Structure 1
C-alpha cells in the first residue's frame, strides 16, 4: 500500500533509521513494505536483512529526484532489477547529471510517475512496468484528468518520511542545513509535507473509496516485488571467486607459490613448517579463500615490480601462507603465532590483510587494483558515513536559527548555564541531540576496497568521490553481512621515510652496501639497535617514538624483538586502561609476581605471563577457559567493537561464556574479572601477527636511524614527520651531529636536502611561499646559480610579498649581503618596476647600485623571522625568554631529586589529554629541558584545572620527582608559561639602538 518510504539515508531529508521504519510498518500491520530512499540505496541491504525480524517482506527501490523535484519512484521486481536501478542511479551520480524526465524502460523494475509530474511532462504512453502514482492530494484532480482512463496503471503514491510532528521539524531543520538557509527562508518546494506520515489501511481506503481499483493495483504491484540476499551465518562468500580459470587451477597456483617460497624464507624446512603449511592450505581451500590470497599476492607482486615499500599486517600475518607469498614479513613459526586467530572452520570471515604503502605509492596501487580487477564493474571503494556529532549539530542548527556568532561559539563550546539560556538556544540543544549519530553525508572508508564476483551494483549504487574511484553506499559491517570482504590498502608515512632514507643514503654514500631492508631478522639481534630501544632513543621511528611508547620501552627495559612485539599491543588503549599493561610490566620484571596468574590463563598464555595482550588471547580464553567453540569465540572477539556488540548473536555468546565458567566451578568474582579484561581491550588490542608486523617496521626504521641518522631524519622531515612537528625532528638531527641551515636560493630544493652533515631546509617549509615559485626557482637555477638580487629578479618574476619571504628567511645569504640591505633594494626596485609574475623580462634592465649604511641584524630578529616564516626557530627557544631561567635544574639531575620537589624549565612538545576513571580531566606533558633532553610530566585533575596548558612555549614547572619502573617523571604542582621578549622587529626603542640613521642612504 505504501510505495515510497524514506529512511534517514535520504540524506538531510529523512528522519528514521531502517529499523525504525520497519517497526513503524509493523505497527500498522504491513507485511510487504518498500524502502525507496532519495538517490540512495545505502539502507537497502540492512533493510532486507532486518525485515524478517518484523515479519515483513522487504521491497527496495529509489526515489529519483533532481534536487527536491521528484521525477519517479522505482521499485526492484527482483535482484536483476535492483542491479539495473543501481546502474542507472550510479551513472548519473558519477557524472553529476540530472535524471531525465522519462526513465529507461526497466524490464525487472517498476517505474511510478507522480501524477503531478506527468501533467508537466505530458507522458501518455506507458510500458508494462510503468505506473501513475496518485497521492491523496491528487484524488480530486484525477477525475477530470486524461490519466483517469489508465485504470490499470493507477497506484497509490503516498510518501512516508516522518512519524510525527517532531520528525517533521527535524526534517525542516535538515533541509535548511542542506540548503544553507535560515529556517525562516526555507521554501516549501525544498521540503516535504507534514502529512507524509504512515496511515492505517482503512484511512487510505477511505480516501480512495471511489477508486477501489487503485487500491487493488497497488496491492498487486507490491505482490510482484521481491528480493533475496543471503545473510545467514553460512552465507556464500561474494568476493571474486576465481583468480585463474577455475578453483582447481587457483589452488594449484597457490600451492606452487608456497613451495617456491619455502627455500627463500627458511634455510631448513622442518617438519613443523611442512605440517603448518599443509594445515593452512587445506583450510584455505575448504573455506574458499584461495582467490583471496592470490589477489593479495598479485597486489604485492605489482608493488614489488615498482619497488614500492610495503608492510602486510592484520590477522593474516599469523599465516605461514602469507609469509611464503611475501604478503607479510612475519614468521609465524618463529613467533608461535596462533593459527586459529588467522582462520578456523567456524570463522565466517576471511583473515584481515592490512597492506601499508607510502601515501603516494598507495594511489598507484589502488589504480592498479581497479584496472586489474574492476574492468567489469566488480571493484569499488568501501563507503563510510560521516554522522552528525553533537557540537557540530549545535553549530549547524544555531546558524539555521540565525543566532549570532558569539552565541554559536558559546553553545558549541558547552560553556554555559542551561537555566540561563533563552528558549531558542534550548531548542537548538534539544534538536542537536536528535541529530546526533544520524548520517550526514557519505564518505570513504579509510582503506577498504571491495572486489566482488558479481558487479558491485548488484549490491549498491556507487558515488564517485574526488579520488576518482566508485564507492559503494554502505559500510564495512553491511558488506560483511552480505558476504563481501574488504582488501585494506593503506597509506603510511613511515614507509615513505624508509624508502626516502635509503634513496638519500644511496645518493650521498654510493660506496655503502645497504642490506636488504625487507629481511629484518639481522636487525633483531643487532646490539646497537637494541641498545637504542632500551634507551628509548627512537624519535622518528615507526610506532616507537610517542611519549607513551618511550615511557613503556623504558619501564619494560625492551631490548629484543619479542618484547617489542608485546609492547606494540600493550600500548593500545584497551590494554593500558584495563590495568593489564601495568600487570604485564610487574610480571615481566618480577618472576614472583607471575605466581598470581590464574593457572588456566597461565597455561593458555605463558609467553605473556597469563596476561591478555593480543587479540587472539580472547579466542584462547573463550575457547580453553570458558569452553566456547572457536566460532563462538570469534563472535566474541568481533563483538568487542562497533555495531557487533549489541547484536543478538554476541549477547548469546556472552551469556554462554558466563554460564560455562560457572558450570566449571569458577567463582563469579573471577569470571567477571576475566570478562572485564576481555571487554575492556578486545576491540582495541592487536593480533600478535599484526603487532609483529609493526615491530618489523620499527626495526627497519631503527636500523636506518642507528647507522644513517642524519639521512633518516631528513627523510622523516620530508615525509611530514610522524608523531611530532618538523621542529622536533630537526632538533633530533642537531643532537645527532647535523648542522641545520635555513632555505638557500642556491642550494635548497623544495624538500629538505643533506650534504655531508649540512642539512638545508626545503622551500616547502616556508609559510605562504607558493609552490609555483619554488618550481620556477629550481628551473631557473638549473641554468646557473644566482649571483645577485637583480639576477634573481630578472630570471624569476615574483611579487614583492613572495620575494620578502625569501629575503627575511635569509635565503640570499650566499650573495654576501645582509637581508636588511636586500629588503631595501627589493622594495625600492619593486616600487619602480611593474612585475608580472607570469611574464619573464626579455631584456636586462640596468640596475642602480645603492650605497646603504651598515645594518646590524641580531639573532633575536632572525629568530622571530623564523618563528613567523617557518613556524619554529632554529635558535634555542630559551634565549627568547623575557626573563632568563633562574635555576639550572636539568633532566640529567632528576635522579638525585627523587621524591623531592623541584623547579625546572621545559619547552612544550606535546600534551596528552585523558580522563580518570571518575571522568575528571588530566594531562601527560612532554617537554624538552634547557639541555634538549626529554622531560615527562603528570598533571592530575586539580592541577590540570588550576594550571592549564596555554599553547606552545617555555613553561616554568614545579613538581615532585617520582619514579616508576626506573622511569622518572615530574608530578606537577604548578606551572606557568613564561613570556617571550617583545618582538624586536616592531620595538621602536630597540630599532633606534641597532639601526643607523637612514638619512645616510645615497645612490
Structure 2
C-alpha cells in the first residue's frame, strides 16, 4: 500500500479471485496510507469464465458475500463456481466489469465468436444496466492490443461504456518472482513446467503503475481513464464499517417477555445460587451491568454463552470462561466465569461499556478437544449451520515451509528440500531462513550438496527472503466462531472448512475485531481435562468431592511448594522463567500467584518491571507512586501497573472520569499514535485532572506513566482466571499426587516438560509408578488402589496393621466427612492419607510405534475385555508390528520372564504358530533363554519405546564415568558451600531447549539427572558456535560459571561437549521452544 501512495494513486480496488479474505486489512492499509479503497472480487462463473464485481453500497456488499459464499460452499472444494442464475438475483449494488482475458466476453472475442460476444454483452447490460462496463488493459502484449480493439468495437455496437484497468498482481516488478513461485505452488508445478504450460505472465508489467503512466498509455483514448475515475468515485462511498456486523439471536421461551427479562432472571437467580449472602455491592453492580447490556442491546449475546455453558455442564463437561469476561458479574452469575469481580476489584468496563458498544469476545475453555467438539456440534445444531461459522487464521510462510516450497518450485528433489528445511529452527521466519542460507559462505547449502554459486541456489535465497510475511494458506481458528441471527454468508464471506460439515469465514480474529464482529471462543484447555480427571479419580477412589471453586486459598503448604519452584506439571507456573521468578517472589497469598501469571509476559520482562517490582518488594529500593492518590490502586504491585484494570482505575482516581472513558483511554494508549493524536485522546483526562487540582507538570507525569505502562499491561481478569487453575493444580498435586500424575499422563501432550520428567518428579514426591503390563494396563494410565508405603505394609497405623489393599481408614475418614474441600484438606494432611496413596499404572497409550490404526484396534480389544495370556493377545491382536512394539515395551511382563528380548522371541513364536495353523496354548517358558540386555541398553530401549525408564534415571549409568571426569551431580549445585560465580562442570539429560523472543538471543537449556534439574544460560555467540552440539545431542555436559541468587540456581555456559549412553544420542525427546 505504501507503494501505491508513493506513486500518487488516489483509488485502489482489491479484486481477488473468488475471495474477500484481504478486504479488512486492505481497507485498513488504505486508510493509513491516504488511498481510497474499493472492494470487490473477480468471481468465477459456472462456465469457468471470470467477471469483476466492485461494491457500490451495503446492498452490493451483501450480494457479493452471498455470491462468493454460494460459489465456495456449493462447489467442489478448491474450484468455486457461481451460477449465472445467482448472479441475476444478486446484481444490485454491484458494478460489473467484463474481466480479464479469461472473462466470458473477452474469451469469445479471442475465439472470434463475435455474435456470441455481442449476446453476452447484451445480457450483462440487461442485468446490470449502466453498472456494466467492458474492461480494457495495456500490459504491453500484442494479444491484448488486438483484444482491446475488438472490445472497443463491441462497446460501440451494443452501447456499453468501456473503461481502463491495470491487472495488478504485485507492487513492483521485483515481486514477479515471488508471484510466479506462488502460482507454481498453487498449480503444484515447477517453474519450468509452469512456463511450458503458459501459466506465468511474460513480463513484470502486471505491477502498480503511476497515474501519469496510465494517462500516457491511454492518451489516445482519455475517455477510458475518465470512466475509470467515475466508477471509483461511484464506489468510493462504501465502507466496510457501514455494514451492520452479524449479531446472534437467542430464541427466548414464551415465559419471558424479552431477552432482557430472561437475562435478568437468570442472572439474579444465578447470583443467589453462587453467593447466598451476596453483598449490596454485588446487587448494585449486577443491576448496573444488566442496564448497560440493555442499553447496548446485547442480551442475546450473553444468553447464547449461558446456553453453551449450560449444555456443557449438563453434559458433564468441565468449562470455565476467562479473559475480559471475568470482569463481568453477570458472567459470574451465569456460571460462565469462576471469578467474583467484586471480591477481586475488577472493572466491568474493561469488558463492555456504553462508550465502547461493540460486542466483546467471550472466551470459554473446555476440558478437552473432544469435549469442545461436542459443544461445537451443539452450537451448529442449535443455531443452524447457515448462521454459524468458524473464524479463520492466515498462516504465513515460516522458514521451513519457505525453503521447502522454493526448492520444490526450483526443481530440486523434495528429499533434498526436506533435509535442508529440517536443519533450520522450527520457529525461524522466512527472513531468518534466508540469512541462514547465506551464513558461512553458504555452509547450509553445501551441507545438502548444493553449490552456493549455482544460479538456482542464488535464486533460492532470494525467493525464501521474498516469502517473508506472505500468507501460505488459510487455517481454522482453534475455537473462535461467529453467530448471526440470519444467514451468515450474506454478511461475511464464508467457505467450507477442511473438517466435514463446518464452514469458516475468510477473516481472522483481528479482522473481526477491526469491524466490530462479535466472536465467541470455545477453546480446548488440557489443564481443565487434567483437573476434571483428577477430581473424578479422587471422588471415586477416596470418596472425597473436591470443588476447585471452593478450595482453601490460604494454605501455607501450597504457597511453600510454589515459592520453592516445585511446580513441574502445574498450570502456567512451571516454565523456566517462572522457576526463576517464584523463589524471588516468595508468594504467600493468592494475589501473588496472580502476579506471577501476569508478570512473566514479554512486556513486563522486557520493560524491566519484573526486576523493579521484586526489588521494591524486598525493600531494596523504595516504592514510589506516580501520584499519591494512586497508592490504593497500585499498592499490591508496589507502585507498578502490571494489569490493564489498574491503568483504568488510575485514570478514574486522578481525573474522575467514568470507567468507560478510562477504557477508551487504555485502548488509545495501547496503539501507536502521533503526539497530536495522543493529546486529543487524553484531553478529557487532562480536564478532569485540572478540575481536581492536579497541576500541569504532575498531570503530564501521570499521563506519560500511563502511556508507558499501556504497552505491556495484561488483563487482570485473565490472570486471576488462570491463577485459579494454577492454584487448583498446585493443591491437587500436593494432596493427591498419584491422582494428579495419572491425570496429567492421560492429558498429554501438554505442558512444558517431557513425560519422563513428569514421572521422575512425581516419584521424587513419593508416587509409585508401575510399568506397562497387558495383564492389568488399560489404554489410559490408571490407579491401583493398594497401600504401597512401607509404613502401612510393614508396620501398624493407629494400632492396627494394614492388609496391603486400599486402607479402610482413608475410606472411613472420607465417609465421616461432609465432602467439603476443608474435610479433604484435613484428611489429606494426615500421614496415613499420604502413605495410602494409590500407585499409577502406566497405560498402553505410551507404547510408541503402534500408530493410530493399530492403536485403535488394540483399544477396541481392550474394550471387549482384559487380556488373559500371551495366546489371548496373539489371538485377538495378531499384528506383528503391534506385538513387536508391545514386547519391546515390556508389556508381557506378567506372563514372560527375561525382559523385552525374551518377550519378543516368545510372542513372535506364538504368532508364527498361529499363522501356521497350529493350536495356541498358554505360553510355556521358552527352551531358548536369551541373555538380558545390559542396563544401559535396557534404559535406551525403554526411552525409545515409551519415552521413560521406570528402573531409574538414564544418567545413573554415566555417574561413575562422570565422577572420574570431575563432573558433579546437578543436585550438588545447590549445596550451600557452592559460591556464586564458581566455575563448575555438570551434565544431564536435555529436557528443554528454549530461545524466548524476549531474551535478546540467549538460549536456555534445561538439564536433568537423577539428583535434580538446572537451567543453563547460553549466550548468543556461544549458541551460534556450538548450535549443532546443543541441538543434536540428548545428553550434554557443560562447563561454566555457577549462578546463585535468591534461591535460584543456574549455570552460565562457557562450553559444551556431548555425552553418549552406549549408542544413544537422543534419549529423551526434549520440549524445544526455539
State the TM bucket, normalised to the shorter chain. 0.7 to 0.9
Measured in 2, the distance between the counterparts of 1:539 and 1:452 equals 43
Following TM superposition, by how much is the alpha carbon of 1:103 offset from its aligned partner in structure 2, in angstroms?
A: 5.9
Q: Which residue of 2 aligns with 1:63?
A: 42
Measured in 1, the distance between the counterparts of 2:538 and 2:64 equals 55
Q: Which residue of 1 aligns with 2:489?
A: 457
Measured in 1, the distance between the counterparts of 2:420 and 2:760 equals 43
Q: Which residue of 2 aligns with 1:27?
A: 8
Following TM superposition, by how much is the alpha carbon of 1:533 offset from its aligned partner in structure 2, in angstroms?
A: 2.7
Out of 404-413 and 38-47, give the one that drifted further: 404-413
Q: Which residue of 1 aligns with 2:635?
A: 606
User: Cα gap change, 1:613/1:189 in structure 2, threshold over 3 Å: closer, same or farther?
Assistant: same
User: Cα gap change, 1:68/1:645 in structure 2, threshold over 3 Å: closer, same or farther?
Assistant: farther
State yes or no: 1:694 paired with 2:722. Answer: yes
Q: Which residue of 2 aligns with 1:168?
A: 176
| Counterpart selection for 2:712 from 667, 670, 681 | 681
| Gap runs ≥5 in structure 1 | 1-16, 836-840, 985-1003
| Counterpart selection for 2:274 from 255, 259, 265 | 265
The answer to whether the 8 A contact 2:913-2:919 is kept is no
Q: Which residue of 1 aligns with 2:62?
A: 83
Following TM superposition, by how much is the alpha carbon of 1:734 offset from its aligned partner in structure 2, in angstroms?
A: 1.8
- 1:315-334 C-alpha deviation (Å, 9 max, x unpaired): 12122222111111111221
- 1:209-263 C-alpha deviation (Å, 9 max, x unpaired): 999998898788777757744638xx96652366638997222222222221232
Following TM superposition, by how much is the alpha carbon of 1:264 offset from its aligned partner in structure 2, in angstroms?
A: 2.1
User: Cα gap change, 1:240/1:227 in structure 2, threshold over 3 Å: closer, same or farther?
Assistant: farther
User: Cα gap change, 1:68/1:501 in structure 2, threshold over 3 Å: closer, same or farther?
Assistant: farther
Q: Which residue of 2 aligns with 1:177?
A: 185
Q: Which residue of 2 aligns with 1:765?
A: 846
| Counterpart selection for 2:81 from 81, 85, 99 | 99
State yes or no: 1:880 paired with 2:957. Answer: yes
State yes or no: 1:803 paired with 2:883. Answer: yes
- 1:882-918 C-alpha deviation (Å, 9 max, x unpaired): 853316655365223233444444333223324787x
Q: Which residue of 2 aligns with 1:254?
A: 263
| Counterpart selection for 1:152 from 159, 162, 166 | 159
- 1:575-597 C-alpha deviation (Å, 9 max, x unpaired): 12211112222222339732577
Q: Which residue of 2 aligns with 1:244?
A: 252
CA RMSD of aligned residues (A): 4.3
The answer to whether the 8 A contact 1:881-1:981 is kept is no
User: Cα gap change, 1:430/1:647 in structure 2, threshold over 3 Å: closer, same or farther?
Assistant: farther
| Gap runs ≥5 in structure 2 | 138-142, 425-432, 443-451, 786-837, 1066-1074
Following TM superposition, by how much is the alpha carbon of 1:436 offset from its aligned partner in structure 2, in angstroms?
A: 2.1
Out of 846-855 and 56-65, give the one that drifted further: 846-855
- 1:526-568 C-alpha deviation (Å, 9 max, x unpaired): 3443343333333222212223223322221112212111221
The answer to whether the 8 A contact 2:184-2:409 is kept is yes
- 1:158-195 C-alpha deviation (Å, 9 max, x unpaired): 44214542233432232123333332332364234644
The answer to whether the 8 A contact 1:575-1:680 is kept is no
Measured in 1, the distance between the counterparts of 2:220 and 2:1023 equals 73
User: Cα gap change, 1:260/1:978 in structure 2, threshold over 3 Å: closer, same or farther?
Assistant: same
| Counterpart selection for 2:988 from 906, 909, 931 | 906
User: Cα gap change, 1:300/1:929 in structure 2, threshold over 3 Å: closer, same or farther?
Assistant: same
Out of 745-754 and 897-906, give the one that drifted further: 897-906
The answer to whether the 8 A contact 2:43-2:82 is kept is no
State yes or no: 1:716 paired with 2:744. Answer: yes
Instruction: Give 3-state SS (helix, strand or coil) of 1:346's partner.
Output: coil
User: Cα gap change, 1:559/1:75 in structure 2, threshold over 3 Å: closer, same or farther?
Assistant: same
Measured in 2, the distance between the counterparts of 1:93 and 1:775 equals 35
Instruction: Give 3-state SS (helix, strand or coil) of 2:392's partner.
Output: strand
- 1:342-373 C-alpha deviation (Å, 9 max, x unpaired): 34443354444221112221112222223333
Following TM superposition, by how much is the alpha carbon of 1:487 offset from its aligned partner in structure 2, in angstroms?
A: 1.4
| Counterpart selection for 2:467 from 435, 453, 456 | 435
Q: Which residue of 1 aligns with 2:310?
A: 301
User: Cα gap change, 1:413/1:304 in structure 2, threshold over 3 Å: closer, same or farther?
Assistant: same
Following TM superposition, by how much is the alpha carbon of 1:765 offset from its aligned partner in structure 2, in angstroms?
A: 1.6
Instruction: Give 3-state SS (helix, strand or coil) of 1:190's partner.
Output: coil
Instruction: Give 3-state SS (helix, strand or coil) of 1:181's partner.
Output: coil
Measured in 2, the distance between the counterparts of 1:767 and 1:640 equals 51
Following TM superposition, by how much is the alpha carbon of 1:41 offset from its aligned partner in structure 2, in angstroms?
A: 0.9
Measured in 2, the distance between the counterparts of 1:472 and 1:954 equals 47
Following TM superposition, by how much is the alpha carbon of 1:64 offset from its aligned partner in structure 2, in angstroms?
A: 2.2
User: Cα gap change, 1:668/1:647 in structure 2, threshold over 3 Å: closer, same or farther?
Assistant: closer
User: Cα gap change, 1:208/1:544 in structure 2, threshold over 3 Å: closer, same or farther?
Assistant: closer
Measured in 2, the distance between the counterparts of 1:983 and 1:141 equals 69
The answer to whether the 8 A contact 2:527-2:571 is kept is yes
Following TM superposition, by how much is the alpha carbon of 1:769 offset from its aligned partner in structure 2, in angstroms?
A: 0.9
| Counterpart selection for 1:115 from 105, 127, 137 | 105
| Counterpart selection for 1:927 from 984, 1007, 1011 | 1007
| Counterpart selection for 1:966 from 1037, 1041, 1047 | 1047
User: Cα gap change, 1:271/1:766 in structure 2, threshold over 3 Å: closer, same or farther?
Assistant: same
| Counterpart selection for 1:867 from 943, 953, 961 | 943
The answer to whether the 8 A contact 2:394-2:475 is kept is yes
- 1:423-468 C-alpha deviation (Å, 9 max, x unpaired): 6555544454443223332223333222234543234311222234
* 1:402-801 aligned within 5 A: 402=411, 405=417, 412=434, 414=436, 416-417=438-439, 422=453, 425-453=457-485, 455-468=487-500, 469-507=502-540, 509=541, 512-517=543-548, 519-520=549-550, 522-590=551-619, 593-595=622-624, 599=628, 601-621=630-650, 634-635=663-664, 637-638=666-667, 644-645=671-672, 664-666=695-697, 674=705, 677-678=708-709, 680-682=711-713, 685=714, 687-720=715-748, 721-756=750-785, 757-780=838-861, 786=867, 788-799=869-880, 801=881
Measured in 1, the distance between the counterparts of 2:613 and 2:212 equals 67
Measured in 2, the distance between the counterparts of 1:925 and 1:364 equals 39
TM-score w.r.t. the length of structure 2 is: 0.78
Q: Which residue of 1 aligns with 2:430?
A: none
How many aligned positions are there? 942
Instruction: Give 3-state SS (helix, strand or coil) of 1:382's partner.
Output: strand
Measured in 2, the distance between the counterparts of 1:488 and 1:457 equals 20
Q: Which residue of 2 aligns with 1:12?
A: none
TM-score w.r.t. the length of structure 1 is: 0.83
Out of 893-902 and 946-955, give the one that drifted further: 946-955
The answer to whether the 8 A contact 1:635-1:650 is kept is no
Measured in 2, the distance between the counterparts of 1:902 and 1:203 equals 70
Instruction: Give 3-state SS (helix, strand or coil) of 1:645's partner.
Output: coil
Instruction: Give 3-state SS (helix, strand or coil) of 2:41's partner.
Output: strand
- 1:833-857 C-alpha deviation (Å, 9 max, x unpaired): 759xxxxx89869999963246444
Measured in 2, the distance between the counterparts of 1:388 and 1:775 equals 34
